[in-house]
């Protein structure tokens, strides 16, 4: 017998967009039901952002221990090389994921959100069926929030399976691959490629374009390239991956010559696509914008009271964008007058060193004259105390020349991701160079580099 649920709000997908939407709707007193076929938390928490940062942190720790063998490093030496047990590292990572997953469940329960485990299949815009462990459930809603997220793109000639893996499998390996080939030099490929190199894998990266991190400018990506060179990561640019046979990745190099790369695992990271298949989107009658669901600035689809958020609606595919949209939609349904119009959405690349980009970047088309000022982390005391003053890091500020209002900030350096909020707040609040220069920044911190870059934009940096 089918159980029938009638609800004010139905959220499909329990990732950072969906669960935030559900929690906020519950807090606002809306009867809310959330459907998730996997663990609560979605790609970001379960198999993306959080687990990858755990592996990256473990890799950094292992690399520091390795540096301390023999003659030692920074006055610290250990008698033998550290030993990696990757399965135990993965277990530690899984513990973090499980803790956060349980936390999401508790927050949903506190907000009185009904959670249904299973895959929602829509028969029309407001009705879906879910096969759960307890039987079939039919859900009818007044409002539907689509938050189905995205999935890795596979190459036709390198389908996922066996030794050809996506980022999901790369975060749950039992053994360290001796030789790892990474196809794609975007942020996912480089984050994981650098981490596995630090753990001891021999890493080779294959990229079809003529540079790494094509979404960032050369000045930002050069310190990462130097780090890769120091780690011994091999790089094939303007190369095409063609097949994987007998433990070798076959590529066509930049000169059109065939090359075979020995690899125990091939990690394919050529992008992500919205998850639009397998849940009845075609039955809902919503308009599309290419591969994405088309929405307006309130996240409304073309179907009345059907909303879509996160990766499903387009770039940037970032968890924090999805969360902001989820909160927004819940409040609109509850009666608030809001729209999604942030000045900036911070982007962070957790490579070594890290990269942050917020707002306008050099080369962006603009109808106003701008000025650019940069301050090197080699002159920042905190960076030097971390032993990271020599990795080419910097903070760069772009401001409108006429009134010095900050339009964009980019930075590269160890732990620089922690400054992304200060950069975003400055731009959202309409801060000028004078405003940042007038704020006393704690010493010694990396944040002083933002202060000094602003001073340099005004023509009088103190420490450079």
Q: Across residues 54-76, what is the average pLDDT?
A: 91
**CA pair distance 177, 105, nearest whole angstrom:** 35
What tens digit of pLDDT does each residue of 271-285 get?
A: 999 999 999 999 999
The radius of gyration of the chain from alpha carbons, rounded to an integer in Å, stands at 24
The least confident of 17-31, 62-76, 436-450 is 62-76
**CA pair distance 285, 305, nearest whole angstrom:** 12
**CA pair distance 396, 218, nearest whole angstrom:** 13
Helix (H) or strand (E) holding 306: strand 306-308
* Exposure string over 207-226, b if 16+ CB within 10 A, otherwise e: bbeebbbeebbeebbbbbbe
Q: How does the average pLDDT of the chain come out, rounded? A: 95
Q: Across residues 325-345, what is the average pLDDT?
A: 97
Q: Is the pLDDT of residue 80 over 90?
A: no
Task: Say how many Å lie between the first and final Cα of the chain, rounded.
Answer: 74
Q: Across residues 64-77, what is the average pLDDT?
A: 87
Residues 436 and 451 sit within 8 Å (Cβ to Cβ):
yes
Give pLDDT, residue 245: 94
Cβ-based neighbours of 322, under 8 Å, separated by 6 or more: 15, 16, 17, 18, 20, 147, 149, 309, 310, 311
**CA pair distance 307, 295, nearest whole angstrom:** 8
Q: 67: pLDDT confidence band, cut at 50, 70 and 90?
A: confident
Q: 363: pLDDT confidence band, cut at 50, 70 and 90?
A: confident
Q: 105: pLDDT confidence band, cut at 50, 70 and 90?
A: very high
Share of the chain above pLDDT 70, in %: 100
Q: In this structure, is the dihedral angle defined by the CA atoms of residues 408, 347, 231 and 58, taken in order, positive or negative?
A: positive
Q: Is the pLDDT of residue 183 over 90?
A: yes
Q: Across residues 196-220, what is the average pLDDT?
A: 96
Residues 122 and 279 sit within 8 Å (Cβ to Cβ):
yes
Alpha helices in 296-399 (DSSP H): 319-333, 381-385
Q: Is the pLDDT of residue 367 over 90?
A: no
Q: According to CATH, where is 3.50.50.60 located in the chain?
A: 3-151+274-333, 164-270
Give pLDDT, residue 462: 92
**CA pair distance 164, 181, nearest whole angstrom:** 9
Q: Is the pLDDT of residue 118 over 90?
A: yes
DSSP 418: G
The three-point CA angle 430-431-436 to 5° equals 170
Cβ-based neighbours of 106, under 8 Å, separated by 6 or more: none
Question: Ramachandran region of residue 245, left (φ > 0), alpha (ψ -120 to 50) or beta?
Answer: beta
Catalytic residue among 67, 143, 320, 443: 443
Short-list 73, 7, 15, CA closest to 387? 73
Top CATH class, 164-270: alpha beta
Classified as helix, coil or strand, 394 is: strand
Q: Is the pLDDT of residue 365 over 80?
A: no
What tens digit of pLDDT does each residue of 24-55 get?
A: 999 999 999 999 999 999 999 999 999 999 99
How distant, in Å, are the alpha carbons of 147, 185, 210, 214, 253 from that of 256?
Answer: 42, 19, 14, 21, 5
The least confident of 67-76, 321-330, 340-349, 443-452 is 67-76
What's the burial of 50, exposed, middle or buried (CB within 10 Å: 0-12/13-18/19+)? buried
- Could you tell me the two tokens for 151? 């999935």
Give pLDDT, residue 464: 78
Give pLDDT, residue 168: 95
Is beta strand 135-146 parallel, antiparallel or unpaired with respect to 3-12? parallel
What tens digit of pLDDT does each residue of 150-173 get?
A: 999 999 999 999 999 999 999 999
Q: Across residues 302-330, what is the average pLDDT?
A: 97
Query: What homologous superfamily does CATH list for 3-151+274-333?
Result: FAD/NAD(P)-binding domain (3.50.50.60)
> Would you call 443 a catalytic residue per the annotation?
yes
Helix (H) or strand (E) holding 355: strand 354-359
Q: Is the pLDDT of residue 414 over 90?
A: yes
What's the burial of 434, exposed, middle or buried (CB within 10 Å: 0-12/13-18/19+)? middle
Cβ-based neighbours of 369, under 8 Å, separated by 6 or more: 400, 401, 402
CATH number of 347-457: 3.30.390.30
Residues 396 and 411 sit within 8 Å (Cβ to Cβ):
yes
Q: 1: pLDDT confidence band, cut at 50, 70 and 90?
A: low
Give pLDDT, residue 75: 87
CA 171 to chain centre: 14
Q: Across residues 174-194, what is the average pLDDT?
A: 97
């Amino acid at each position: 017998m089918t159980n029938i649920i009638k609800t004010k709000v139905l959220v499909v997908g329990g990732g950072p967009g969906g669960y935030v939407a559900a929690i906020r709707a519950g807090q606002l007193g809306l009867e809310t039901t959330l459907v998730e076929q996997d663990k609560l938390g979605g790609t970001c928490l379960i198999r993306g952002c959080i687990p990858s940062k755990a592996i990256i942190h473990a890799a950094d720790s292992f690399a520091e221990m390795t540096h301390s063998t023999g003659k030692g490093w920074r006055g610290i030496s250990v008698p033998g090389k550290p030993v990696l047990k990757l399965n135990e590292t993965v277990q530690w990572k899984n513990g973090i994921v499980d803790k956060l997953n349980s936390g999401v469940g508790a927050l949903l329960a506190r907000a009185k959100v009904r959670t249904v485990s299973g895959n929602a299949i829509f028969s029309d815009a407001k009705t879906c069926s879910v096969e759960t462990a307890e039987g079939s459930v039919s859900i009818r809603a007044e409002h539907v929030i689509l938050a189905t997220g995205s999935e890795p793109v596979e190459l036709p000639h390198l389908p996922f399976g066996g030794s050809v893996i996506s980022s999901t499998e790369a975060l749950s390996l039992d053994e360290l691959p001796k030789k790892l080939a990474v196809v794609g030099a975007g942020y996912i490929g480089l984050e994981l490629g650098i981490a596995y190199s630090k753990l001891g894998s021999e890493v080779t990266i294959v990229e079809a374009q003529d540079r790494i991190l094509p979404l960032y400018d050369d000045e930002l990506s050069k310190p990462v390239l130097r780090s890769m060179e120091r780690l011994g990561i091999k790089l094939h640019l303007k190369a095409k991956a063609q097949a994987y046979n007998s433990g070798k990745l076959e590529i066509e190099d930049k000169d059109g010559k065939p090359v075979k790369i020995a690899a125990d695992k091939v990690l394919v990271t050529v992008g992500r696509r919205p998850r639009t298949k397998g849940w009845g989107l075609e039955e809902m009658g919503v308009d599309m914008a290419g591969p994405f669901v088309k929405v307006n600035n309130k996240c409304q689809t073309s179907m009345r009271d059907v909303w879509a958020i996160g990766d499903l609606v387009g770039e940037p595919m970032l968890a924090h964008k999805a969360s902001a949209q989820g909160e927004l939609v819940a409040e609109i349904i509850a009666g608030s007058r809001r729209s999604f119009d942030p000045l900036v959405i911070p982007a962070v690349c957790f490579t070594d060193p890290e990269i942050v980009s917020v707002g306008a970047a050099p080369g962006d088309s603009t109808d106003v004259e701008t000025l650019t000022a940069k301050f090197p982390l080699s002159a920042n005391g905190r960076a030097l105390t971390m032993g990271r003053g020599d990795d080419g890091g910097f903070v760069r500020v772009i401001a409108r020349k006429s009134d010095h209002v900050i339009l964009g900030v980019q930075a590269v350096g160890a732990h620089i991701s922690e400054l992304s909020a200060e950069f975003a707040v400055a731009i959202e609040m309409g801060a000028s160079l004078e405003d940042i220069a007038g704020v006393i920044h704690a010493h010694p911190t990396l944040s002083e580099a933002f202060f000094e870059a602003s001073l340099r934009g005004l023509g009088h940096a103190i420490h450079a």
